[in-house]
């Protein structure tokens, strides 16, 4: 059991289903707000640590409202793209893991903003651009061969688009070490942008390198996973273990009331709804 499994057992019930649906609504509201008053976001909602330390703590959440595009032409396509990416990631990982990935991305944005403020003395409003890129990187890692139609004409695999974005991230870091055109002020801004890029991409690296179970699911696997959950719900309705227990091992008879740390799984090879604890899941004799 890795750290994500442990977190999901404790806090999985608090996860927000269809999280990206609500994020897209916020993006839409942010776009409308930008059309009505283009300066309102940066004056009152952007992730500005200087203003946060002066009491405007709502900025730690409201910065997410910034839409991925300011163009009326591209905003619909951008919102659809990120909605599709978010939905696919949630289907592949599950609701809790996608929640963890998205909200940890927000945390790293805030962390980067604090580093920039205290290390460089610069109160630079942080946008949600790097957060959106971390979503795109995750999608590309799971589905590298999926194709997007660039300009609605040219089919390009996601992995090549992610590579271009990766080069942009690399350029943002390298630029911090180059002589700044325009003086020291621009040099500080370049360094701040490099910090934002590096800290933000940590979300992607930690999530993928720190979890052994982050992997893509084929449509057949996703269908099998859905049917498996459906069978579990049906089995719980028809089986009664007594004493309020929800799980019971068909071999040793232990339930979740005997040990709250025990894991139980249904065996797909057994003929019927037979549930086994973690000690007997792979050692029992299959029921035919």
CB 228 within 8 A of CB 270: no
Q: Rounded to whole angstroms, how far apart are CA atoms 201 and 212?
A: 19
Domain ranges of the chain: 3-209, 219-277
Percent residues over pLDDT 90 in the chain: 6
**What are the pLDDT digits (tens) for 11-32?**
878 888 889 999 999 999 999 9
Name the pairing type of β-strands 147-150 and 154-157: antiparallel
H or E element that contains 163: helix 158-175
- Which pLDDT belongs to residue 58? 92
Q: Which residue has the higher pLDDT, 200 or 92?
A: 92
Q: Say which residues have a Cβ less than 8 Å from residue 184's Cβ, sequence separation at least 6.
A: none
- Which pLDDT belongs to residue 182? 47
- Which pLDDT belongs to residue 166? 80
CATH number assigned to the domain with residue range 3-209, chosen from the 4 options 3.30.1490, 3.10.620, 2.60.120, 1.20.1540? 1.20.1540
Q: Rounded to whole angstroms, how far apart are CA atoms 195 and 129?
A: 14
Q: Which residue has the higher pLDDT, 242 or 67?
A: 67
Q: At what angle do helices 158-175 and 129-142 cross, to 10 degrees?
A: 140
**What are the pLDDT digits (tens) for 206-225?**
776 655 444 544 445 555 66
**What are the pLDDT digits (tens) for 119-169?**
777 776 666 777 788 888 888 888 888 877 776 677 788 888 888 888 877
- Which pLDDT belongs to residue 221? 56
Q: Find the radius of gyration of the CA atoms of the chain.
A: 23
- Which pLDDT belongs to residue 229? 64
């Amino acid at each position: 059991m890795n750290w994500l499994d442990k977190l999901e057992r404790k806090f999985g019930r608090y996860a927000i289903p269809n999280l990206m649906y609500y994020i897209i609504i916020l993006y839409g509201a942010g776009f409308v707000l930008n059309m009505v008053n283009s300066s309102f976001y940066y004056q009152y909602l952007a992730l500005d640590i200087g203003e946060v330390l002066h009491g405007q703590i709502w900025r730690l959440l409201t910065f997410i409202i910034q839409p991925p595009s300011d163009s009326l032409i591209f905003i619909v396509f951008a919102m659809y793209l990120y909605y599709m990416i978010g939905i696919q990631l949630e289907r592949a990982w599950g609701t809790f893991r996608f929640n963890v990935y998205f909200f940890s991305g927000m945390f790293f944005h805030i962390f980067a903003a604090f580093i920039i403020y205290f290390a460089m003395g610069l109160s630079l409003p942080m946008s949600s651009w790097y957060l959106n890129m971390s979503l795109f990187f995750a999608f590309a890692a799971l589905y590298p061969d999926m194709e997007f139609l660039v300009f609605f004409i040219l089919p390009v695999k996601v992995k090549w688009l992610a590579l271009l974005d990766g080069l942009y991230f690399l350029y943002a870091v390298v630029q911090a070490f180059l002589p700044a055109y325009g003086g020291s002020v621009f040099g500080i801004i370049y360094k701040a942008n490099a910090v934002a890029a590096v800290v933000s991409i940590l979300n992607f690296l930690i999530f993928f390198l720190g979890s052994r179970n982050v992997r893509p699911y084929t449509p057949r696997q996703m269908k099998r996973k859905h049917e498996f959950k459906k069978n579990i719900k049906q089995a719980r309705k028809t089986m009664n273990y007594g004493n309020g227990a929800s799980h019971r091992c068909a071999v040793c008879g232990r339930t979740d009331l005997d040990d709250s740390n025990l894991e139980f799984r249904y065996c797909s090879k057994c003929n019927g709804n037979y549930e086994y604890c973690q000690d007997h899941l792979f050692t029992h004799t299959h029921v035919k």
